Structure 1
Amino acid sequence: MFILFGAFLVKSGAGDFIIDLARCAAGRFVGGPGFVAVFSSGLMGSVSGSSVANTVSTGVITIPLMRKAGFPARFAGGVEAAASTGGQLMPPVMGAGAFIMASYTQVSYLTIIGVAALPALLYFLSVAMFVRIEAKRSQAVKLEDEDAETFGQVLKGGWHYLLPLVVLVAALIYGFTPTYAAGIAIVSVVVSSWIARKPMTLGDILDALAQGSRNIMTTAILLITVGLIVMVISTTGIGNTFSLMITDWAGGSLLVTIALVALASLILGMGLPVTAAYIVLATLSAPAIYQLIAQSQLIDLMASGNLPEQARAIFMLTAPDAVELLGAPMERAQAAAMLAEVPENFTGQLLEQALSPHALTMALVAAHMIIFWLSQDSNVTPPVCLTAFAAAAIAGTPAMRTGLTAWKIAKGLYIVPLLFAYSPLISGTPLEMLMVFTFALFGIYAIIAGLEGYLEHPLRWWLRVLMFPVGALMLWPHGMIWIDLAGVVIFVALLVWSARRPGPVMTPA
């Protein structure tokens, strides 16, 4: 139903409204066409759910605009590919991934799209950071269009296109099932189009039904085929075996486990669409990642001396010598060693006794979100990067080189999943989530500056190297806010210094 909803919304003319809205909001800045690509791809992807379709529909406008402003053609194609890939991360549709995730985890669809919003925004802002740096380096110009409508005029002429999204979210909040809410939203698309200058006709409705049905059939065949694989994996126990293998290869390290899953997702993505790759990977590796995230939270409780009494009772059965140590703070390594002594058949019960149901639920969501994000990398990672190939065809650049550029620009696909695992970006209180988001924004900007060798002006080699530890200060979890603040101060100082003092005349590597 969400696929059908996207088809109706695009057919109603919402695509043109989204691009016009993006051009008014971001196109008037220096390097604005690049920001238009990011903004419009995020808005379009939030309803279409298809990275390639997103690239083709918005790229035919944004890529020529970026080239006209002075951006290199390969960079223009890479930005569009990376931004369009993020469309599957942006609620409410998320390429049907959110609905599948809700089905797998038995967590409400509304909860999933709620926690997915800030990470998706963080991804698009990371792409916008590449655009800003390249605009400075390429001396991209501000494109003036005297005949262009203002933001208010565009919004006045197309505000009704936003009504179906409001109806969809309102229906979900009210408690309707995702399928029923999408059905109501489809009806609202048709009704709201009657307010437009060009209302949907019977032919438009039939075309939308036909296009949506074709997309649904493709997705249905894909899900049925993958479902057979998933059932075989479940029935034979290969999933549990694979999870144990990943845990064994990673040596119990969550970071190494995520790296192995990223590699597996890239390989699977060479032959499967991203949604299918997510389904297979979630079946195989989500239990391992969930277990490691939950165990990490348990170790934190043990290290702080706050382990609940009912959880200590399990230690009395499995490791009685360690019970006396659990009432006081200890080193994290010591807590991990004590947990390693607990037999595997008691671990699940220990986690249920020590962690709240909310913590366990969010650990499961975090595991699936990590896999879902990593499964998107095949869109922009050579040798198979369909989104980059589509952008390269529009930009007239070599497909593989455009793919490498898109892969570099889409670095948020690898950084943000680490925040799912090690920070409360999706599991904390609203204040904690906003704090992680803010510090991560500065941290990602610092790392991008290091990768590009540029802020407001070219960076000398030692400043370029310094950007990576400065970014890590703000990204890596350490539980001390003063370290994050120190990283922000250092980065802002370097940014101001770079803006006021021209760098050397050089071309960064």
Structure 2
Amino acid sequence: MTDAPQPRLDPAADEKHHTEKDAQGEVEAHVRSFEGTLIGRVAWVVGIALALYHIWVNTLGTFDQVWLTAIHFAGFAFLCSMRYPLIRTRSPGATRAVLAFDIAFGIVVAVATLWLISNQNAIYDRGVRLSNVDYVLAFIVIGGAIELTRRATGLIIPCLILIALTYVVWWGPSAPGVFRFAGLSTETLLFRSVFSDEGMFGSIALISATFVFLFILFGAFLVRSGAGEFIIDLARAVAGRFVGGPGFVAVMSSGLTGTISGSAVANTVSTGVITIPLMKRAGFPPKFAAGVEAAASTGGGLMPPIMGAGAFVMATYTQISYLEIAAVSLLPAIVYFLSVAFFVRIEAKKRNLVANDPDAPTAWEVLKKGGPSFLIPVAVLIGLLIAGYTPVYAAGFAILACIAASWLTPNRMGPKAILDALALGAQNMIMTAVLLVAVGLVINVIAMTGVGNTFSLMINEWAGNNLLIALTLIALASLVLGMGLPVTASYIVLATLSAPALHALIQNNALIDVLVAGGVPEAARMTLMLADPNAMTALAAPMTRDAATAFIAAMPPEVLTLVYPQVLDPVTVKLALLSAHMIIFWLSQDSNVTPPVCLTAFAAAAIAKTPPMATGLVSWKVAKGLYLMPILFAYTQFLGGPPLEVAHIFVIAVVGVYALGAAIEGHMEAPLNWPLRILLFAAGVALIWPNNTIIETVGAVGVIAIFVWNVRADRKRQRVPASG
């Protein structure tokens, strides 16, 4: 078996190569280069070993969970210490000293982790008492996780971890009001931080070591087999010759790349180096080109079948299969990408741009050249998931399919290419692995102290049983967290704190509908009498919506918890849980495009050579679909209703987001005056906000009528210069 010969770089390809490296360097200036160095070769070998270890334990081998996750962290802690230096220095002597320190630091953290885990039986034998050596090892492991997270992600998460840990042993007893906590000993905190199911090596770390890494490894094999080039070429073939085509190429290629990569920044850097220059040459403003790429790449985390680490965490939290989560996510993701594409079309028409990509290949040429490298592995992955195989087995077989499919293309994968893909997958996993293990420290504190329950009760109290207010509060919390936390960390923290409250409010909404219809079973009435002796009489007949809302608001949460399964069917209960987590998952994505810290927008700005903050604001505007879809998740059955109803919601949502985008921009195919903009905005709100069929129909007809009139105005405008 031989590797395919590497093609010579032409000037355009060479420019792309350097642009990608420059963009990555500007976004991650603190990252140490592995290319062409001894340390890079060491990282290459360690990465391959880690990848093979994870493939083995996830397919053929059996391993104790704590050992599996501990080795996972130890290996990536060593790689992280080499990849992300302690400090950035220009002095050669200082650089060598920092490198030596980083290598030693990584070895110490890795050895301390494995040593501490090897002592777990002795700790249990002592009645869960830590020896002096255990104390030292635990401090090294926890301190190492905090420091490595600082290097990889910045100061926000380490500060959050320190606040959480000190809350348990120091300032919790003096905290005011409902956040007062009696406190625990340092020994208990250290033990539970390491060995509990919510701690560093608990459920979140297990997700990282199984689902997440196998899918990131699958993405690396797809990239190495040439699927990335196929995606961009296919997008150019399909959309390149339309008005605004380069913008559509950005949207389509980012969406397709999102099917193989859960990282918005990696998506931006890999596709943006091609799409952003294309958009600029077509006449789009540089800030807009960068903003579109950032917004479209953010949607990659929403596009099945690979939706980033958060989707696997969601599957674990909700106990809903990953396949079901991916399946119901497809149509909402399409609506999001269409919302970005609408901004592209409107901007192209505003600037009177014309179709201009004469070098775009034909779809048949693209499919013939690189189709197997992308289509076959993805089809294998989806087919195995549908057949009932676990995600890790499906990913493992899909990796083998990548290798086999590459032999149907010019980019055949031989031993060297396979090893490179293994190392690339490990390198792409470094930040995610360290982050997910470290976030376990925060989740453990939330579980130990009951802060999550307190926060959920506060949301219920502040919202006053109003689902819209709760959505607004969670969106604001997501906005604040998104300024400093990566997507996965933002989702985990928000889901742990607010998902129970949101789940209860969505169920309350469904319960109110039942009270209005008058279909409460007698068993549920008896349960409600525990809190209200008059419930039997009050529920004898249908209620008005206001009366039903007041009745539910007066019920204690403990009673409602008993009533939900008695009144609501299991599908509705599961849909409420899925909707709550999907709302938080979508809102968490805004951390990619939320100034002042939005790495995805900064990556696009580095490529476009535009101001980072200004680019972030543009991408935030273009990505407004992130805030619209959660409304549909909360109030409709978009995520799990009957097929005809889901299709109806999809069509209404597409028309609604277009109307809102046109109203914001003041343009469709031709300019819009203010009265029409106001009408469009009202129609868009009527379509996105759940209403009865009559209001939705009026809104849709209004949008279509304005669009038809606007198209005629555009044609008339285009004829004016010719007649003059």
What is the TM-score when the length of structure 1 is the normalising length? 0.96
Secondary structure at 1:483's aligned position in 2?
helix
Counterpart in the other structure of 1:241: 454
State the Cα deviation string for residues 361-399 of structure 1 (Å, max 9, x = none). 111111111111111111111111111111111111111
Query: Is residue 272 of structure 2 the alignment partner of residue 44 of structure 1?
Result: no
Q: Is the 8 A contact 2:635 2:690 kept in 1?
A: yes
1:485 to 673, 681, 697: 697
Q: Is the 8 A contact 1:315 1:322 kept in 2?
A: yes
Q: Is the 8 A contact 2:265 2:297 kept in 1?
A: yes
State the Cα deviation string for residues 144-191 of structure 1 (Å, max 9, x = none). 42x543111211222212111111111111111111111111111111
Aligned letter for 2:362?
T
For 1:198 and 1:211, locate their aligned partners in 2 and report how far apart those are by CA, in whole Å: 17
For 2:560 and 2:223, locate their aligned partners in 1 and report how far apart those are by CA, in whole Å: 49
For 2:716 and 2:636, locate their aligned partners in 1 and report how far apart those are by CA, in whole Å: 38
What is the CA-CA distance between 1:249 and the residue it aligns to?
Answer: 1.8
State the Cα deviation string for residues 425-454 of structure 1 (Å, max 9, x = none). 102111111111101111111111111011
Query: Is residue 675 of structure 2 the alignment partner of residue 496 of structure 1?
Result: no
Mind listing any 5+ residue stretches in structure 1 that lack a counterpart? Answer: none
Counterpart in the other structure of 1:380: 593
Aligned letter for 2:495?
A
Counterpart in the other structure of 1:316: 529
Counterpart in the other structure of 2:624: 411
Query: Is residue 380 of structure 2 the alignment partner of residue 167 of structure 1?
Result: yes
For 1:306 and 1:318, locate their aligned partners in 2 and report how far apart those are by CA, in whole Å: 19
Aligned letter for 1:374?
L
Change (3 A) 1:8 1:394: same
Greater CA drift, 451-460 or 216-225: 216-225
Counterpart in the other structure of 1:470: 683
Counterpart in the other structure of 2:363: 151
Aligned letter for 2:479?
L
Query: Is residue 417 of structure 2 the alignment partner of residue 204 of structure 1?
Result: yes
Greater CA drift, 368-377 or 494-503: 494-503
Secondary structure at 1:318's aligned position in 2?
coil
Q: Is the 8 A contact 1:167 1:185 kept in 2?
A: yes
Aligned letter for 2:223?
V
What is the CA-CA distance between 1:97 and the residue it aligns to?
Answer: 1.9
For 2:482 and 2:442, locate their aligned partners in 1 and report how far apart those are by CA, in whole Å: 16
Aligned residues: 503
Structure number with bigger Rg: 2
For 2:239 and 2:625, locate their aligned partners in 1 and report how far apart those are by CA, in whole Å: 21
What is the CA-CA distance between 1:357 and the residue it aligns to?
Answer: 1.4
1:367 to 558, 580, 596: 580
Greater CA drift, 335-344 or 121-130: 335-344
Counterpart in the other structure of 1:191: 404
Aligned letter for 1:141?
V
For 2:387 and 2:301, locate their aligned partners in 1 and report how far apart those are by CA, in whole Å: 24
For 1:86 and 1:165, locate their aligned partners in 2 and report how far apart those are by CA, in whole Å: 18
State the Cα deviation string for residues 257-303 of structure 1 (Å, max 9, x = none). 11111121222222221101111111011001001001110111111
2:484 to 271, 277, 282: 271
What is the CA-CA distance between 1:502 and the residue it aligns to?
Answer: 5.0
State the Cα deviation string for residues 216-254 of structure 1 (Å, max 9, x = none). 332221111111210110111010001111221222221
Greater CA drift, 127-136 or 265-274: 265-274
Map of 1:217-366 to 2, 5 A cutoff?
217-366=430-579
Q: Is the 8 A contact 2:494 2:584 kept in 1?
A: yes
Greater CA drift, 244-253 or 171-180: 244-253
Q: Is the 8 A contact 2:478 2:588 kept in 1?
A: yes
For 1:61 and 1:308, locate their aligned partners in 2 and report how far apart those are by CA, in whole Å: 60
Change (3 A) 1:461 1:17: same
Secondary structure at 2:543's aligned position in 1?
coil
Q: Is the 8 A contact 1:157 1:196 kept in 2?
A: yes
For 2:390 and 2:424, locate their aligned partners in 1 and report how far apart those are by CA, in whole Å: 24
For 1:178 and 1:502, locate their aligned partners in 2 and report how far apart those are by CA, in whole Å: 50
1:452 to 653, 665, 689: 665
Counterpart in the other structure of 1:10: 223
Q: Is the 8 A contact 1:78 1:402 kept in 2?
A: yes
For 1:53 and 1:314, locate their aligned partners in 2 and report how far apart those are by CA, in whole Å: 53
Q: Is the 8 A contact 1:2 1:96 kept in 2?
A: no
Aligned letter for 1:132?
R
For 1:235 and 1:370, locate their aligned partners in 2 and report how far apart those are by CA, in whole Å: 26
Aligned letter for 1:3?
I
For 1:170 and 1:5, locate their aligned partners in 2 and report how far apart those are by CA, in whole Å: 15
For 2:383 and 2:715, locate their aligned partners in 1 and report how far apart those are by CA, in whole Å: 51
Q: Is the 8 A contact 1:459 1:503 kept in 2?
A: no
For 2:533 and 2:464, locate their aligned partners in 1 and report how far apart those are by CA, in whole Å: 25
What is the CA-CA distance between 1:316 and the residue it aligns to?
Answer: 3.3
State the Cα deviation string for residues 457-506 of structure 1 (Å, max 9, x = none). 1111121122111111112112x21221111111111111111125999x
Counterpart in the other structure of 1:120: 333
Q: Is the 8 A contact 1:458 1:503 kept in 2?
A: no
For 2:657 and 2:502, locate their aligned partners in 1 and report how far apart those are by CA, in whole Å: 24
What is the CA-CA distance between 1:100 and the residue it aligns to?
Answer: 1.3
Q: Is the 8 A contact 1:29 1:142 kept in 2?
A: yes
Computed over aligned residues only, the root mean square deviation of the Cα atoms, in angstroms, reads: 1.5
Query: Is residue 587 of structure 2 the alignment partner of residue 399 of structure 1?
Result: no
What is the CA-CA distance between 1:74 and the residue it aligns to?
Answer: 0.9
Query: Is residue 645 of structure 2 the alignment partner of residue 432 of structure 1?
Result: yes
Q: Percent identity?
A: 59
Counterpart in the other structure of 2:307: 94
Aligned letter for 2:316?
S
What is the CA-CA distance between 1:327 and the residue it aligns to?
Answer: 4.1
Q: Is the 8 A contact 2:485 2:591 kept in 1?
A: no
Query: Is residue 328 of structure 2 the alignment partner of residue 129 of structure 1?
Result: no
Q: Is the 8 A contact 2:656 2:685 kept in 1?
A: yes
For 1:53 and 1:87, locate their aligned partners in 2 and report how far apart those are by CA, in whole Å: 10
Greater CA drift, 262-271 or 118-127: 262-271
Secondary structure at 2:304's aligned position in 1?
coil
Greater CA drift, 128-137 or 271-280: 271-280
Counterpart in the other structure of 1:106: 319
What is the TM-score when the length of structure 2 is the normalising length? 0.68
What is the CA-CA distance between 1:328 and the residue it aligns to?
Answer: 3.1
Greater CA drift, 216-225 or 282-291: 216-225
Aligned letter for 1:472?
V
Aligned letter for 2:492?
I
